[in-house]
Each structure stands twice: as C-alpha cells, then as structure tokens.
Chain A
Amino acid sequence: AQTVTQSQPEMSVQEAETVTLSCTYDTSESDYYLFWYKQPPSRQMILVIRQEAYKQQNATENRFSVNFQKAAKSFSLKISDSQLGDAAMYFCAYRTGITSGTYKYIFGTGTRLKVLA
C-alpha cells in the first residue's frame, strides 16, 4: 500500500525568505501524480502544485517549486519570497490509479507553516 510521510509537523519562515517542506512516499507503482495542497484558516483546500511522475522536469508555479526525486521517492516543496498569506497547513498527496482509472488520493499528516513578519 502506498504511504505519504511528512516529517515536519511545523515550520517557521521569515517574510521574504525561502522555506522547504519535505515529503517522502512509498509506492510500487511507476506512474502516479504527486500534489501539494494548502489549507489556510478558512479550511478550504487549495491546489498549490502538481507533478506527474513520468515528467523529469520539476514543476513550478510562480513562487512555488518542487524538487522531485523519483528514485529516492522524495517530493519537497520550496516556497520562495514567503508572504504572510502563505501561512497555512500544507499537505503532500499521492494519487494512485493511473492504470486502473479508479483514482485514490493518499495524504500526509501535514506541515503547519508559520510566516513571521
């Protein structure tokens, strides 16, 4: 069974600085999707970034980028130029079912990010 591990329950970063959130996963599948979701105090889950496992190039969305190491099964999120609005809970997620068509998302335990002014 697939698992997703986030080993940092909480992180802090100074405004305008860079922070990296860690995520590792375990799977026997060769093709899958990985995601980072953000959950602010409003509780609404927001997709931050997505990575397809077959793509070697790391995904980037504005100030957010990932370091995807498929062999090491590692998927970290880098937030550059941190802003107060980045403060939230961040969840790493793995999506199974590429071949079966029956999608299933597995989430890590989350990392709470605090941004200090």
Chain B
Amino acid sequence: DVKVTQSSRYLVKRTGEKVFLECVQDMDHENMFWYRQDPGLGLRLIYFSYDVKMKEKGDIPEGYSVSREKKERFSLILESASTNQTSMYLCASLNAGEAFFGQGTRLTVV
C-alpha cells in the first residue's frame, strides 16, 4: 500500500520562527510536490522536485524554500513564519498516472 507521510497533522508556530514541514514517501517516486490549500483558492503549488537535489518554484514560492537530500524525503521550510502562511499544507508524490497525497499539515502561525 503506497504511503506519503507528513510529519505533523497540526502545528502551531510563532511569527518569525523557522518552520520545517517534512514529507516522506515509500514509493521510490522521483516527483514530489508541496501544495498550499486555502478555502476558495484550491491547491496552489509552492515548490516541486523531480529528482534528488533538484527543485523548481511553483506558483507561490515566496517565503518558502525546500530541501530534497534523499529521494524519499521532501521538506518545506518557512524561513520566517508569518501569519499569512497560516494554511493547510499538502505533500504529494507522483508517478506517471497518479498523485498520492499525505494527510496534510494544518499550520497556524500566531
């Protein structure tokens, strides 16, 4: 059974903190994505990676960075958390035919 695991379901952080959201997949997929989900806006692509150490900006990369040191792990980093980054974050791992999602991390920045 394929699996994408996000390290936390709920997270509360303070403004200015450096925040790490971790995502691990066990399917040996090359393509991994980070999305942000907000009501009325759907899923918006933050960053994606199609290979180890490779990364590309998505549609809303400002305020975020990513790290992919190993194939199975794709981390999203909020360098200095701000209240407008309060959101649901979804990680996905892709093969040719389907995207597999983690259970999401609801991040609140106070």
Residues of A bordering B, CB below 8 Å: 6, 9, 33, 35, 37, 42-45, 47, 50, 91, 93, 95, 102-110
Q: Is B12 an interface residue (CB 8 A)?
A: no
CB distance A91 to B31 under 8 Å?
Answer: no
> Separation in Å of the A52 CB from the closest CB of chain B?
9
Closest to A43 in B: B104
Hey, which chain A residues are within 8 Å of B96, CB to CB? Answer: 103
The number of residues on chain B lying at the interface, defined by a beta carbon within 8 Å of a beta carbon of chain A, is: 23
Residues of B bordering A, CB below 8 Å: 31, 33, 35, 40-45, 48, 50, 56, 88, 90, 92, 94, 96-99, 101, 103-104
> Separation in Å of the B3 CB from the closest CB of chain A?
11
Hey, which chain B residues are within 8 Å of A109, CB to CB? Answer: 40-42
> Separation in Å of the A64 CB from the closest CB of chain B?
15
Q: List 30 A-B contacts (CB under 8 A).
A: A9-B40, A33-B97, A35-B98, A35-B99, A42-B103, A43-B88, A43-B103, A43-B104, A44-B101, A44-B103, A44-B104, A45-B90, A45-B92, A45-B101, A50-B98, A91-B43, A93-B99, A103-B50, A103-B94, A104-B45, A104-B48, A105-B92, A105-B94, A106-B45, A107-B35, A107-B44, A109-B40, A109-B41, A109-B42, A110-B42
Which 6 pairs of residues, A with B, have the shortest CB-CB distance? A45-B101, A109-B42, A107-B43, A43-B104, A107-B42, A103-B31
Q: How far, in angstroms, from A35 to B88 measured CA to CA in the complex?
A: 21
> Separation in Å of the B98 CB from the closest CB of chain A?
6
Q: Which residue, B41, B42, B92, B101, has most C-beta atoms of chain A within 10 A?
A: B42
**With contacts A33-B97, A44-B101, A50-B97 known, is A105 near B33, CB below 8 A?**
yes
Q: Contact partner of A91 among B42, B50, B56, B104, CB < 8 A?
A: B42
Q: How far, in angstroms, from A107 to B31 measured CA to CA in the complex?
A: 17
Hey, which chain B residues are within 8 Å of A108, CB to CB? Answer: 42
Hey, which chain A residues are within 8 Å of B40, CB to CB? Answer: 9, 109
Q: How far, in angstroms, from A44 to B37 measured CA to CA in the complex?
A: 13
Q: How far, in angstroms, from A104 to B44 measured CA to CA in the complex?
A: 11
